């Protein structure tokens, strides 16, 4: 592996997010660490409330009001290392694509002006020069008839086109790292395929790194090199995406995989996970999945949280051998 590939673009260590809601303080993200190498695509999967989106937002300091984060977030771009101040990286190396482009795009600005704003922030081009760049960017994300679409308002565009406008605006800043928060969840499967194809092409052409948050394991399997599975505010398993999905080492990952209906068919009842995720106001001690885990033992309820393993693969389960026994 050459030097470029081994450079770690984003290092997040021991990230905590505190949310204060109605006088109570929750910790929906509780000690999350992950690293993204140059050119790499990391998927973060988990169910609602697992803290996956908040972790991503915390990276850019985009937490909802009442939210605070601490932990170490370091960026290493071609121009140098940056840590601490997110203002320095927002729009200068990192860009983000959100789930719902209708709420993320300013409804009072035309599509072209939205992208132009991002272009001018980055390059300081004149209005006229920015305009040409906007059309170029819109064409590069596959928006047909870009000159006409640039004059349209967000509400006049279809969901797929809105998402392309948002990606074009993100690319305007020539990011080295693209953060995606469920960018295709609201889209039809055919349009999702187009957007995923676009992201893949952009990554190939620009060598961009990516963090891709999704609840959909099949989508993550397709667009990511590595995956981190989150449960109740913590990463429970990481590794290369195909290995994790083929032979999970945490019972939660295994349960999640078993509960998804298969495209290949196969009837019978789907596997379910008994109970529901723990309340973030009162996380249990020890393994947070223990109460729902088919393999839980007494020591699971006291075990301190550590992600055991190496950089390649790690699991927070203290008895990962049970899964191998179960599948044998």
Partner 1 sequence: MSPIIDARGLTVSYRVGSASLARLRRRPDPVVHAIDEIDLVVERGASVGIVGESGCGKSTLAKALVGLAPLSAGTFALDGEQLGTRRTPQQTRRIQMVFQDPSASLNPSMTIGQTLRELLRVHDMVPAEQVHQRAGELLELVELPVSLLNAYPRRLSGGQRQRVGIARALALEPEVLVADESVAALDVSVQAAILNLLQKLRTELGLTLLFISHDLAVVRHISDRVVVMYLGKVVEDRLTEDLFRDPRHPYTAALLASAPRMGVERRSGDTALGSEPGSLHSIPSGCRFHPRCPIAQDLCRETEPALLGPTAAQHAACHFAWTNRPDESAHRGGGEPDQGRLVRMVTR
Applying CB under 8 A, the residues found at the interface with partner 1 are: 47-48, 144, 158-161, 188-194, 196-201, 215-219, 221-223, 245-246, 255-257, 259-265, 267, 269-273, 276
C-beta closer to partner 1: residue 69 or 184 = 184
**Of residues 116 and 287, the one with the C-beta less far from partner 1:** 287
Q: Considering the complex, what minimum distance in angstroms separates the CB of residue 266 from partner 1?
A: 8
User: What's the min distance (Å) between Cβ of 104 and partner 1?
Assistant: 19
As a whole number of angstroms, the distance between CA 22 and CA 25 comes to 8
CB 50 to partner 1: min, Å: 9
Q: Which residues of 159-190 are buried (b: 16+ CB within 10 A; e: fewer)?
A: bbbbbbbbbbbbbbbbbbbbbbbbbbebbeee
Closest to 289 in 3D by CA, of 257, 323, 250: 250
Nearest to 37 by CA among 142, 176, 167: 176
Q: How far is the CB of 149 from partner 1 (least distance, A)?
A: 12
Please provide the distance, in angstroms rounded to a whole number, between the alpha carbons at the two ends of the chain: 35
Q: Which CB atom, from 245 or from 307, has the smaller least distance to partner 1?
A: 245
| Contact indicator for 16, 233 with CB cutoff of 8 Å | no
State which residue, 33 or 194, has the beta carbon closest to partner 1. 194
Strands (E), 22-115: 24-37, 41-45, 67-77, 80-83, 94-97
Other Cβ atoms closer than 10 A to 130 = 21
Q: Which CB atom, from 124 or from 267, has the smaller least distance to partner 1? A: 267
Q: Count CB neighbours of 284 within 10 A.
A: 13
The least distance separating partner 1 from the CB of residue 203, rounded to whole angstroms, comes to 11
Smallest separation (angstroms) from partner 1 to the CB of 314: 22
Residue 288 DSSP code: T
Whole-number Å distance between alpha carbons of 177 and 53: 16
Of the pair 1, 269, the CB lying nearest partner 1 is at 269
- Between 271 and 308, name the residue whose CB sits nearer to partner 1: 271
Q: Is the dihedral of CA 239, 241, 243, 246 positive or negative?
A: positive
Nearer to partner 1, 144 or 207 (CB): 144
CB of 48 to partner 1, least distance (A): 5
Q: If 0-12 CB within 10 Å is exposed, 13-18 middle and 19+ buried, where does residue 324 land?
A: exposed
Q: Closest separation between CB of residue 317 and partner 1, Å?
A: 17
- At residue 84, what are phi and psi to the nearest 5 degrees? 90, -65
């Amino acid at each position: 592996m050459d030097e470029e590939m081994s450079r770690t673009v984003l290092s997040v260590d021991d990230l905590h997010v505190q949310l204060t809601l109605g006088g109570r303080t929750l910790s929906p993200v509780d000690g999350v660490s992950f690293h993204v190498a140059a050119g790499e695509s990391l998927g973060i999967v988990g169910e609602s409330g697992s803290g996956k989106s908040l972790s991503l937002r915390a990276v850019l300091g985009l937490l909802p009001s009442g939210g605070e984060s601490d932990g170490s977030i370091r960026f290493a771009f071609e121009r140098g290392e940056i840590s601490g101040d997110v203002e320095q990286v927002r729009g200068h190396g990192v860009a983000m694509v959100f789930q719902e482009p209708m709420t993320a795009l300013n409804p009072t600005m035309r599509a072209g002006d939205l992208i132009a704003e991002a272009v001018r922030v980055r390059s300081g081009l004149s209005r006229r020069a920015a305009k040409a760049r906007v059309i170029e960017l819109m064409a590069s994300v596959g928006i047909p008839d870009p000159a006409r679409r640039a004059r349209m308002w967000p509400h006049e565009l279809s969901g797929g086109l809105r998402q392309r406008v948002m990606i074009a605006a993100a690319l305007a800043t020539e990011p080295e790292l693209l953060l995606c928060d469920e960018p295709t969840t609201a889209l039809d499967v055919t349009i999702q395929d187009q957007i995923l194809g676009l992201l893949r092409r952009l990554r190939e052409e620009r060598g961009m790194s990516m963090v891709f948050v999704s609840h959909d394991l099949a989508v993550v399997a397709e667009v990511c090199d590595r995956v981190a599975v989150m449960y109740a505010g913590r990463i429970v398993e990481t590794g290369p995406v195909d290995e994790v999905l083929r032979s999970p080492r945490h019972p939660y990952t295994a349960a999640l995989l078993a509960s998804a209906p298969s495209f290949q068919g196969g009837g019978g009842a789907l596997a379910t996970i008994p109970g529901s995720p723990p309340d973030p106001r009162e996380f249990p001690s020890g393994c947070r999945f223990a109460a729902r885990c088919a393999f839980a033992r007494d020591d699971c309820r006291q075990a301190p949280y550590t992600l055991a393993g190496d950089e390649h693969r790690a699991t927070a389960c203290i008895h990962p051998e049970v899964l191998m026994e179960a599948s044998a």
